[in-house]
Amino acid sequence: MPTSEIDSETLSSLYDIQSEDYEEVIGKIPMMNIQASMYLVIKAKDGKVDAVKEKVQEYAQKQENIWSTYLPEQYELVKQRKMNVVGNYVYLIIAENAAEMEKVITK
C-alpha cells in the first residue's frame, strides 16, 4: 500500500497542529482510504505537549468514528491503536504490529 510522509502541511491539515507547537515530526499515512495503518511521532515544544496530545487524540477518535462504519478489520486496528507521551514526544500507531512499534519508540 503506497504511503505518504507526514510533513508540516499534513500535520496542519489533518491534525490541526501548527508549526509553533512542535519541533519535529515523522510519520506515514496511507495514500488511499482503504487502510488505516499509520504512525506518527511528534516532538512537541516545551509547554505544548498537552495541546499536541489533545489534537492527536481528536484525530484518533475521528479515525475510529470513520472506520466504525467502513471496513471492520481496519476498525479493529484503529481501536487497538497505541498512543502515549514520552517526554516531549507524542506518538500514535495504528498497525497490526503496533505493540512492537511502541516498544521501539519507548526505548
Convert the pLDDT of each residue in 3-58 to its tens digit: 899 999 999 999 999 999 999 999 999 988 889 999 999 999 999 999 999 999 99
Q: Quick one: pLDDT at residue 41?
A: 97
Assign domain 3-105 to a CATH class.
alpha beta
Q: Residue 107 pLDDT more than 90?
A: no
Residue 96 has pLDDT above 70, yes or no: yes
pLDDT of residue 1: 64
Identify the pLDDT of residue 76. 95
CB pairs under 8 A, 24+ apart, for 13-16? Answer: 14/59, 15/40, 15/55, 15/56, 15/58, 15/59, 16/55, 16/58
